[in-house]
């Protein structure tokens, strides 16, 4: 509009100049701009009186020509949506701040010389709910510790193969057999074989395409889920705040877990420790010929003392039959570690010998061989309780706790606060005391230890009390009662931090519901 008004005023000024010019003579080509109503014969009159009509006509014609060209330009330009007409002056609003895109390239020179015509940009309106892409699964790791062996891998053969077929398989691929076992749970032969020098791990895993192979995978590593620091403590039972917190002191009917077999799949149990008092009834070791320097039963003994201690401290289920499966030992880097091959052997041994509960106080990454063993044990009615892990809130889910048929346990302190370094996630089911809890330590001492491993032992011992009182209690009924008996912590209902909440063992064992307790 400003441009059109300027052109109009310019043309009127030009017309006035023509009126004042005494020598004005309309050129012949000016007839092209005349309208039919003002086109007249030309006259020379130095007084200028005869030029008023032609001058006005010329000015009007020029104005009409300018307006016609403006309308033509608008018709040829792209049509954009225009804002609705407003009778009042619109209120200016701040434009939302938009973050510039990174690594923005400069516009080509030719495009810069021919910019696109301006267009009307409507106000940006952000949606109320932004759609966020689903996070990809993450791989569980523990600091700088390796997640699998770089020296050997595991091959599971299909059922029914003869030993001659196994030998032919090894010879064909040039494999050196380190160990071989038959897992009764899976009815399969499992081999631990060394990586040949000429074979990469990727090539080794491609053995799964062989018709004799059911599965080929890395030999995954698992680590105990407990703080390595043990604080020395006097053997006073008063230090065990968990008993009052979980309602264990209210059990008066002699619940002790008698007749229940509970297997601790761990680093082994020091059976001669005063706290254990001969409660270990059966033992298995994946390393019968190992150097004693690589074996250390501290972690397994601490877990077992929470479950079934006899002296110096109280055990949750004093009369439970402890089964010790030693599948963890120190590796060359000085880490206490168990691998897929040995852990599955320990689970297979425990189930074959009648274990009703498996305490799995360790954590690692997802593992198809271990998952198959867990599924098979679950099908036989075995309750499995596992540590959620000690890698913190941002860590991905740890296994075997994250498997659906395993009870994942996190740790709380004396004030029902969540252990800072506990893993979180939707798979977490229950919480139990696991911060500064009294455990058996060393050859004959006691100490305070922290970790989801310790909390797992409290849940396993409580399940033993339930089965000791009701031997025929089904797996589903046990899990439902545990969830129903938990004290809700954190957000209302099940949450990523506490699961269903911190277990009240008294309510779980006696099957007292929340409503009955309130009355």
| DSSP-derived pairing of the beta strands 261-266 and 188-194 | unpaired
| DSSP-derived pairing of the beta strands 445-449 and 148-157 | unpaired
Residue 225 parent element (H or E): none
d(CA 198, CA 207): 14
8 A C-beta contact, residue 409 and residue 480: no
d(CA 428, CA 386): 10
d(CA 157, CA 167): 12
Active site residues: 266, 299, 453
- Neighbour-count burial for 108-133, b at 16+ CB within 10 Å, e otherwise: eeeeeeeeeeeeeeeeeeeeeeeeee
CA 305 to chain centre: 33
In terms of residues, how long is the chain? 519
8 A C-beta contact, residue 430 and residue 499: yes
Residues 6 or more apart from 243 whose CB is under 8 A from it? 249, 314
d(CA 515, CA 248): 20
d(CA 101, CA 80): 26
């Amino acid at each position: 509009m400003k441009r059109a008004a300027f052109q109009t005023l310019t043309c009127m000024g030009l017309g006035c100049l023509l009126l004042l010019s005494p020598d004005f003579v309309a050129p012949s080509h000016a007839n092209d701009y005349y309208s039919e109503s003002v086109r007249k014969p030309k006259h020379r009159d130095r007084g200028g009186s005869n030029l008023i009509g032609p001058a006005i006509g010329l000015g009007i014609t020029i104005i009409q020509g300018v307006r016609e060209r403006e309308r033509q330009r608008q018709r040829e330009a792209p049509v954009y949506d225009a804002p609705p007409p407003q009778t009042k002056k619109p209120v200016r609003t701040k434009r939302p701040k938009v973050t510039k895109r990174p690594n923005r390239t400069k516009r080509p020179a030719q495009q810069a010389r021919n910019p696109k015509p301006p267009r009307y940009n409507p106000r940006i309106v952000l949606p109320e709910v932004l759609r966020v892409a689903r996070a990809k699964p993450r791989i569980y790791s523990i600091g700088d510790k390796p997640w699998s062996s770089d020296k050997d891998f595991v091959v599971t053969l299909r059922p029914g193969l003869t030993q001659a077929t196994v030998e032919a398989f090894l010879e064909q691929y040039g494999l050196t057999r380190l160990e071989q076992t038959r897992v009764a749970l899976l009815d399969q032969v499992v081999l631990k074989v060394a990586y040949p020098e000429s074979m990469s791990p990727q090539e080794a895993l491609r053995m799964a395409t062989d018709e004799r192979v059911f599965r080929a995978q890395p030999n995954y590593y698992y680590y105990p889920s407990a703080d390595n620091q043990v604080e020395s403590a006097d053997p006073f039972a008063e230090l065990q705040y968990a008993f009052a917190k979980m309602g264990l002191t209210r059990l008066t009917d002699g619940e002790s877990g008698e007749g229940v077999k509970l297997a601790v799949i761990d680093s082994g149990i020091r059976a001669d420790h005063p706290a254990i008092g001969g409660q270990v009834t059966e033992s298995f070791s994946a390393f019968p010929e190992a150097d004693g320097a690589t074996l250390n039963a501290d972690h397994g003994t601490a877990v077992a003392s929470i479950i079934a201690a006899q002296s110096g401290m109280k055990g949750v289920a004093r009369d439970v039959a402890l089964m010790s499966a030693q599948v963890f030992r120190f590796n060359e880097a000085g880490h206490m570690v168990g691998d897929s091959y040995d852990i599955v052997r320990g689970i297979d041994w425990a189930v074959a010998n009648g274990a009703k509960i498996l305490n799995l106080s360790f954590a690692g990454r997802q593992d198809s061989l271990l998952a198959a063993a867990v599924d098979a044990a679950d099908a036989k009615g075995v309750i499995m309780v596992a540590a959620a892990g000690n890698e913190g809130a941002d860590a991905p889910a740890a296994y075997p706790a994250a498997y659906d048929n395993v009870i994942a346990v996190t740790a709380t302190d004396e004030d029902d606060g969540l252990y800072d370094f506990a893993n979180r996630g939707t798979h977490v089911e229950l919480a139990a005391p696991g911060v500064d809890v009294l455990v058996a330590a060393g050859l004959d001492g006691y100490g305070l230890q922290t970790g989801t491993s310790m909390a797992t032992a409290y849940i396993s011992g409580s399940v033993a009390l339930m089965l000791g009182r009701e031997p025929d209690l089904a797996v589903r009924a046990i899990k439902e009662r545990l969830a129903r008996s938990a004290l809700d912590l954190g957000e209302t209902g099940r949450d990523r931090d506490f699961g269903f909440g911190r277990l009240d063992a008294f309510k779980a064992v006696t099957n007292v519901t929340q409503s009955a307790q309130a009355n």
